[in-house]
Chains A and B, each alone.
Chain A
């Protein structure tokens, strides 16, 4: 469960202060599929960094599974990211010149999972994310964009995180491949009960989620259930 209470984030450049997040509060329950929407400059990225434990808020609290993440040190934040959060980025998701399987195993390397267990878990995550077994030993630069995102989803899944955080995951894909990736997220949410937060500026991508948070100028404008959810059959 994610509880955001009165979160504020202020950036200072010289004398100029910029408030990226302004007193924002919301709660996301386990198993939800939420899209966070907003135009560029709205504070989406800052919110994503905060939710992803990449950055700490200036004030307010962020409870992830009851643990206060807002006041942790760098190394403690790294542990939170390792154990509780899976990232899927827009671009540069995989290590270059590295096999698909090794890319997925990477979080387990840092988590201290060894030997056959590491490999088994990575393979299972890849299958869950819809990858064919014959691609497991391909290099990350030998697969298509849609496949790269699926590998990234597998890597996000592999350490059983509380939260999968996807930052514009379809931004670099054509709409058909994008649909497949969104379908993969829906399947993971429905069949494996994963909590997924999707950050996007596109309305039709956001409509794949169950709930949409709309952000503007660092404030939460709208929090609605999505009644016209687009369901992708894979």
Chain B
């Protein structure tokens, strides 16, 4: 029997009972559509969480002085207090392949006074690269410039929280604050960044790095070097390059610094979201399974209903395999069409979800292919048993069947 003949027989018998074929197909349609929608929403959620982590700087390597020893905790002097990172390290890091920008930072706590208000907060000496590397936005004025750094200027940029602490009722822009009894002019205010955990930029004051080192702290050590990597996929390579370069520069074999990558954090989150997506897809798969059972149920009914027809076909010369193929193809065609409609429906659901703006969904080709494969497999698995029953019917009994 040629494929064309099988398909034309299949079309004939499926269209003979349109309502039943449609309802059976609906089970597969809903199953496939929900799998596609769930996986796409999961992927969308993953992408959106990834992009918000990247907003915090996921392509960031943070180099700290001192050693973080796994298992034994931080060395007794405390992270950041060791004095091993210097200004001379910056040029070496900048020269490495794959490094987009380097932001040397020197942070200390000082007492700050402004128009009668008094607060104690972190003052960070930075270069202009800081804003880019840490993804900061300026609400008013400008960030620390190259000229400020070169001239060891007395300029300060306030984080959003500090700005309201020091100047509750007035615009701080252009006002003077006193850090460690030295006057600084406020040249910019940052937009609030929100919960970035410990030492967030909202609660910081930024001054030129040169001013910090020469006037406020009086030494040329750095508390942190933030390195932004141009390609997120090269994080580990760049981390290794940076480690080797700094080991060379410091002429040591045991690292006197630590490099922390945000990629590790991102990796953990991705795993969590993947598990979540898998969980959603598994629930959706249950409806697919129920749809498959619906197909089997309908096929078994069909075989019983058409017992006489099977007998007639066999009397005319149909072999077991001919009957088998015919009924199997009915099941497979049902699931295939159902699968196709399900993919379209799933895609529409994703489109609606995206346009409501809850999650930006991503329909991946792999989930579509998977859905198609699964629906074909369901047709074969759940169509096999009824088809086999049809093929095994004895022609004499089938012809006599009432």
Are B16 and A54 touching (Cβ within 8 A)? no
Interface centre among B9, B308, B315, B399 (most CB of A within 10 A): B315
Tell whether B360 is near chain A: CB-to-CB under 8 Å.
no
Instruction: For the complex, give the distance between the alpha carbons of A134 and B121 in Å.
Output: 100
Whole-angstrom distance between the Cβ of A169 and the nearest chain B Cβ:
14
Question: Would you give the 0/1 interface string for A96-107, flagging 1 where the beta carbon is closer than 8 Å to chain B?
Answer: 111000100011
**If A95-B309, A97-B16 touch, does A78 touch B319 (CB 8 Å cutoff)?**
yes
Tell whether B396 is near chain A: CB-to-CB under 8 Å.
yes
Interface of B is mostly: helix
Tell whether A232 is near chain B: CB-to-CB under 8 Å.
no
When C-beta atoms are compared, the residue in chain A nearest to B391 turns out to be A74
Are A82 and B320 touching (Cβ within 8 A)? no
Tell whether A218 is near chain B: CB-to-CB under 8 Å.
no
Instruction: For the complex, give the distance between the alpha carbons of A125 and B312 in Å.
Output: 19
Tell whether A231 is near chain B: CB-to-CB under 8 Å.
no
When C-beta atoms are compared, the residue in chain B nearest to A159 turns out to be B317
Instruction: For the complex, give the distance between the alpha carbons of A107 and B395 in Å.
Output: 15
Tell whether A29 is near chain B: CB-to-CB under 8 Å.
no
Tell whether B91 is near chain A: CB-to-CB under 8 Å.
no
Tell whether A83 is near chain B: CB-to-CB under 8 Å.
yes
Tell whether B365 is near chain A: CB-to-CB under 8 Å.
no
Chain B residues, CB < 8 A from A79: 317, 319
Are B315 and A55 touching (Cβ within 8 A)? no
Are A155 and B316 touching (Cβ within 8 A)? yes
Return the contact of B316 from the options A55, A81, A92, A97 (Cβ within 8 A). A81
Are B316 and A106 touching (Cβ within 8 A)? yes
Instruction: For the complex, give the distance between the alpha carbons of A81 and B319 in Å.
Output: 10
Number of interface residues of A (CB under 8 A): 29
Are A109 and B1 touching (Cβ within 8 A)? yes
When C-beta atoms are compared, the residue in chain A nearest to B5 turns out to be A109
Tell whether B318 is near chain A: CB-to-CB under 8 Å.
yes
Question: Would you give the 0/1 interface string for B8-28, flagging 1 where the beta carbon is closer than 8 Å to chain A?
Answer: 010010001000000000000
Chain A residues, CB < 8 A from B309: 95-96
Are B318 and A78 touching (Cβ within 8 A)? yes
Instruction: For the complex, give the distance between the alpha carbons of A49 and B395 in Å.
Output: 10
Tell whether A111 is near chain B: CB-to-CB under 8 Å.
yes
Instruction: For the complex, give the distance between the alpha carbons of A96 and B321 in Å.
Output: 22
Are B395 and A54 touching (Cβ within 8 A)? yes
Tell whether B46 is near chain A: CB-to-CB under 8 Å.
no
Instruction: For the complex, give the distance between the alpha carbons of A159 and B316 in Å.
Output: 10
Are B320 and A75 touching (Cβ within 8 A)? yes
Tell whether B322 is near chain A: CB-to-CB under 8 Å.
yes
Chain B residues, CB < 8 A from A114: 2
**If A49-B396, A55-B396, A89-B399 touch, does A81 touch B312 (CB 8 Å cutoff)?**
no
Instruction: For the complex, give the distance between the alpha carbons of A74 and B309 in Å.
Output: 18
When C-beta atoms are compared, the residue in chain A nearest to B319 turns out to be A78
Are B396 and A107 touching (Cβ within 8 A)? no
Interface centre among B16, B308, B314, B317 (most CB of A within 10 A): B317
**If A49-B396, A95-B309 touch, does A111 touch B12 (CB 8 Å cutoff)?**
no
Instruction: For the complex, give the distance between the alpha carbons of A155 and B315 in Å.
Output: 12
When C-beta atoms are compared, the residue in chain A nearest to B314 turns out to be A78
**If A54-B396, A92-B312, A93-B312 touch, does A78 touch B12 (CB 8 Å cutoff)?**
no
Whole-angstrom distance between the Cβ of B19 and the nearest chain A Cβ:
14
Q: Which of A118-137 contact B (CB under 8 A)?
A: none
**If A54-B315, A92-B312 touch, does A110 touch B322 (CB 8 Å cutoff)?**
yes
Instruction: For the complex, give the distance between the alpha carbons of A69 and B352 in Å.
Output: 66
When C-beta atoms are compared, the residue in chain A nearest to B316 turns out to be A107
Whole-angstrom distance between the Cβ of A88 and the nearest chain B Cβ:
10
Tell whether B86 is near chain A: CB-to-CB under 8 Å.
no
Instruction: For the complex, give the distance between the alpha carbons of A29 and B399 in Å.
Output: 28
Instruction: For the complex, give the distance between the alpha carbons of A191 and B221 in Å.
Output: 116
When C-beta atoms are compared, the residue in chain A nearest to B311 turns out to be A92
Instruction: For the complex, give the distance between the alpha carbons of A107 and B312 in Å.
Output: 10
Are A87 and B316 touching (Cβ within 8 A)? yes
Chain A residues, CB < 8 A from B399: 89, 92
When C-beta atoms are compared, the residue in chain B nearest to A93 turns out to be B312
Are A52 and B1 touching (Cβ within 8 A)? no
Instruction: For the complex, give the distance between the alpha carbons of A106 and B314 in Å.
Output: 11
Tell whether B313 is near chain A: CB-to-CB under 8 Å.
yes
Chain A residues, CB < 8 A from B5: 109
Are A92 and B396 touching (Cβ within 8 A)? no
When C-beta atoms are compared, the residue in chain A nearest to B309 turns out to be A95
Q: Which of B313-345 contact A (CB under 8 A)?
A: 313-322
Residues of B within 8 A of A (CB): 1-2, 5, 9, 12, 16, 308-309, 312-322, 395-396, 399
Residues of A within 8 A of B (CB): 49, 52, 54-55, 74-75, 78-79, 81-83, 87, 89, 92-93, 95-98, 102, 106-107, 109-112, 114, 155, 159
User: Other CB < 8 Å A-B pairs besides A89-B399, A102-B12, A110-B318, 12 of them?
Assistant: A74-B319, A78-B317, A79-B317, A82-B318, A92-B399, A95-B309, A96-B16, A107-B316, A107-B317, A109-B5, A110-B316, A112-B2
Complex A-B, nearest 10 residue pairs according to Cβ-Cβ distance, in ascending order: A82-B317, A78-B319, A110-B317, A81-B317, A97-B16, A107-B316, A109-B5, A87-B315, A92-B308, A75-B319
